[in-house]
Amino acid sequence: MTATTGYGRALDLITRVRGVRGAMLVAGDDGLVVAEQLMEGIRGSAVAALAASLANRLRRAMDVAGVGGPMFWHLQGDQGALLVVPAASAMLVVAVTDADVNVGLVRLELLRAAEAVG
């Protein structure tokens, strides 16, 4: 199995959930898109840059607070949400969803995908 195939399978875990508009693997340090499965109209590079920037800021803030690193974050907007889980490989697993998505199910699939990509 190639890395690309593995990444595609990891993203499939997420995008099969009803209400998920897209999923991405993002390099946590620089915000580059490693792999993506996005619906039309989602600006992947902008979402990736936002996720990486937030990851770095959250990591610093949580270190200062003494509570460890972020494991999952959920940003809710009027028309949808951005859900992110860091993977052990310093990548971020990101989902863009509709407002009425089952967040618990998406979180579970994000965690599975993060484990799959390492």
Residue-wise pLDDT for 8-19, tens only, equals 888 998 999 999
- Residue 2, pLDDT score: 39
Per-residue tokens: 48: 């990736």
Query: What integer pLDDT is reported at residue 20 of this predicted model?
Result: 97
Interval 42-71 mean pLDDT: 91
Length of the chain: 118
How many domains does the structure of the chain reveal? 1
Q: Is the pLDDT of residue 4 over 70?
A: no
Q: What predicted TM-score, i.e. pTM, was given to this entire model?
A: 0.90
* 97 backbone dihedrals φ, ψ, rounded to 5°: -130, 165
77-110 tens-digit pLDDT = 999 999 999 998 889 999 999 999 999 999 999 9
Would you report the helix, strand and coil content of the chain in percent, each value rounded to 5? 40, 30, 30
CATH number at residue 84: 3.30.450.30
Parent domain of 77:
3-117
CB burial of residue 23 (10 Å; 0-12, 13-18, 19+): buried
Distance CA 53, CA 43 (A): 16
- Whether the per-residue pLDDT at 68 is higher than 90: the answer is no
Which residues face 91 on adjacent strands? 27
